[in-house]
């Protein structure tokens, strides 16, 4: 009887640190938060008001308020402190540049949403059942997306590859977002889903690759290849593993590039290195355009104000001004100036160019809005994620793909893409710690008879 009580107490100490009801409720909010970011375009197509596209902001605030009292992990506390510092810098930038309060709120949420989700996921270690439930919901979301993709192509006969958008309907870069989300899920399902059947994992991975082919999203493939090489570089301290990876990566990459060049030999912005070099140089001209609007040296530190340059909020003001104007949103000519510069260049405009060379990309937007201080804190937050939440190479690979995507377009402020990727990173963290706790419990129980005898 005493041994039974001891084991129950030990198991209770290792499994949970907060009430089960709280965990279930938070898991439900996490699922709704992710769904609100991934499915608003579907709801809009079903005649829901366009304001549904802002629904994820409400869930982000609700989750943020809900999860703060439940935080039990050190990394969640560190992320929370980093977010508060980022909010302080954003507010200071707004005061310096006379930006509206709504600018501060929306800009902060766009940058903070992935970290809010990670705080919610990592604040308390979840039991295996809750982890599996969250994983099943994520799987379901992507299965629905893939059904949309194949129906659009083969049943609805999408007129162009750009119209194969999956659940990201009527979204300018929807085919890119859908392709990236599908390929990310494909790698996760193949390598870390826990599904026993190798044939099922390979089949789902092929379905995800099919999304890439049907939507013709070449930049996603290139971004993943670049991310793979960056991951290898980060492993150089393990020299033999780095050599092994390079032996696999170099011929694979050369083969993929050969296929791309064969399929798209007539597309100069991919195959002609002179064009590629020139186009990237023009892309970087966005920095000189932004600095031309500086009015004081403080702009180097705090930027031109949240939403005042080329961040995602600039897009929102362009598309949803009727909703934002009554709320007191403020803007500057920077976004329009950069837009004109982009559309006036052959390789970057929306007709003859590629979004790969877009001047409107996330890293420039974050720096333009919040300056070096804001960008520094933002990078620090991701360093914390890399150091403490990315528990394996797959998680680190996913994080690198986000960074690379942020150099291409405004991906790091795209809610569906960012929340989906960090949800997988958070899942990996939870699974790692759940397995660790289970091993620890088994070890404790195995050692119990010896402790009993010694006691």
| pLDDT recorded at residue 264 | 54
Asked if residue 185 has pLDDT above 70, the reply is yes
Residues in the chain: 455
Mean pLDDT of 41-61: 88
User: What are the extents of the domains in the chain?
Assistant: 2-125+266-454, 134-216
pLDDT digits (tens, 9 = 90+) for 255-291: 766 666 665 544 555 656 787 788 889 999 999 999 9
> Which range among 81-85, 253-257, 389-393, 404-408 shows the weakest confidence by mean pLDDT?
253-257
**Per mean pLDDT, which range of 129-143, 222-236, 258-272, 427-441 is the poorest?**
258-272
Q: What is the CA radius of gyration of the chain?
A: 23
When mean pLDDT is compared across 78-87, 236-245, 414-423, the lowest value belongs to: 236-245
* pLDDT for position 69: 82
Please check the confidence at residue 423 and state whether its pLDDT lies above 50.
yes
Locate 374 and state its tokens. 């804001």
Residue 306, pLDDT above cutoff 90: yes
What is the reported pLDDT for 448? 60
In this prediction, residue 24 has a pLDDT band, given cuts at 50, 70 and 90, of: very low
Tell which wins on pLDDT, 223 or 239: 223
408 has pLDDT over 50:
yes
Who's near 195: CB < 8 A, 6+ residues apart?
189, 201
Instruction: Give the whole-angstrom CA distance, residue 407 versus residue 398.
Output: 15
Residue 14 pLDDT exceeds 50:
no
What is the DSSP track for 97-142? HT--HHHHHHHHHHHHHHHHHHHHHHSSPPPHHHHHHHHHHHHHHH
pLDDT, residue 309, reads 95
What is the model's pLDDT at position 254?
66
Decide if pLDDT at 182 tops 90.
Answer: yes
What is the pLDDT, as a whole number, of residue 411?
86
The arithmetic mean of pLDDT across residues 385-407, rounded, is 95
What's the Cα-to-Cα distance from 27 to each of 12, 47, 66, 67, 419, rounded to whole Å? 20, 28, 11, 11, 14
Place of tokens 């970290």: 115
Nearby residues of 93 by Cβ (< 8 Å), 6 or more positions away: 99, 302, 303, 304, 305, 306, 369, 370, 371, 374
Q: What is the pLDDT of residue 11?
A: 36
The pLDDT mean for the chain works out to 85
For the chain, what percent of residues have pLDDT higher than 70?
Answer: 86
Distance from C-alpha of 9 to C-alpha of 22, rounded to nearest angstrom: 21
What are 316-352's pLDDT values in tens digits? 887 777 888 888 999 999 999 999 999 999 888 888 8
Res 233 pLDDT > 50? yes
| CA separation for the pair 324, 313 (Å, rounded) | 10
């Amino acid at each position: 009887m005493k041994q039974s009580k001891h084991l129950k107490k030990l198991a209770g100490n290792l499994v949970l640190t907060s009430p089960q009801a709280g965990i279930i409720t938070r898991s439900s909010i996490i699922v709704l938060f992710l769904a609100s970011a991934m499915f608003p375009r579907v709801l809009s197509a079903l005649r829901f008001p366009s304001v549904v596209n802002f629904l994820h902001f409400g869930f982000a605030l609700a989750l943020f308020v809900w999860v703060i009292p439940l935080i039990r992990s050190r990394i969640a506390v560190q992320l929370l402190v980093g977010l508060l510092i980022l909010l302080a810098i954003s507010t200071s930038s707004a005061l310096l540049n006379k930006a509206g309060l709504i600018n501060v709120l929306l800009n902060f949420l766009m940058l903070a949403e992935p970290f809010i989700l990670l705080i919610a996921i990592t604040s308390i270690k979840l039991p295996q059942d809750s982890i599996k439930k969250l994983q099943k919901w994520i799987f379901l979301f992507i299965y629905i997306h893939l059904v949309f993709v194949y129906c659009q192509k083969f049943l609805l006969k999408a007129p162009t590859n750009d119209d194969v958008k999956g659940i990201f309907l009527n979204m300018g870069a929807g085919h890119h977002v859908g392709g990236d989300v599908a390929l990310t899920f494909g790698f996760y399902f193949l390598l870390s889903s826990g599904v026993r059947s190798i044939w099922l994992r390979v089949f789902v991975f092929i379905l995800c690759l099919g999304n890439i082919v049907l939507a013709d999203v070449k930049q996603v493939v290139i971004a993943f290849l670049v991310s793979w090489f960056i991951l290898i570089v980060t492993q150089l301290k393990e020299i033999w593993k780095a050599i092994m990876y390079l032996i696999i990566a170099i011929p694979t990459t050369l083969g993929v590039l050969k296929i791309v060049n064969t399929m798209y030999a007539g597309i100069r912005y991919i195959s002609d290195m002179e064009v590629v070099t020139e186009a990237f140089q023009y892309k970087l001209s966005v920095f000189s355009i932004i600095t031309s609007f500086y009015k004081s040296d403080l702009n180097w530190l705090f930027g031109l104000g949240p939403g005042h340059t080329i961040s995602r909020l600039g897009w929102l003001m362009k598309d949803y001004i009727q909703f934002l104007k009554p709320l007191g949103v403020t803007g500057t000519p920077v976004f329009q100036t950069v837009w004109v510069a982009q559309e006036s260049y052959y390789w970057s405009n929306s007709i003859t160019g590629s979004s790969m060379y877009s001047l409107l990309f996330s890293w420039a937007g974050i720096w333009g809005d919040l300056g070096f201080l804001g960008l520094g804190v933002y990078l620090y937050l991701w360093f914390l994620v890399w150091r403490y939440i990315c528990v394996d190479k797959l998680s680190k690979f996913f994080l690198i793909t986000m960074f690379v995507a942020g150099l291409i377009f405004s991906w790091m402020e795209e809610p569906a893409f960012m929340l989906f990727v960090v949800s997988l990173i958070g899942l990996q963290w939870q699974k790692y710690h759940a397995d660790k706790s289970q091993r620890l419990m088994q070890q404790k129980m195995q050692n119990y008879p010896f402790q009993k005898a010694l006691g």
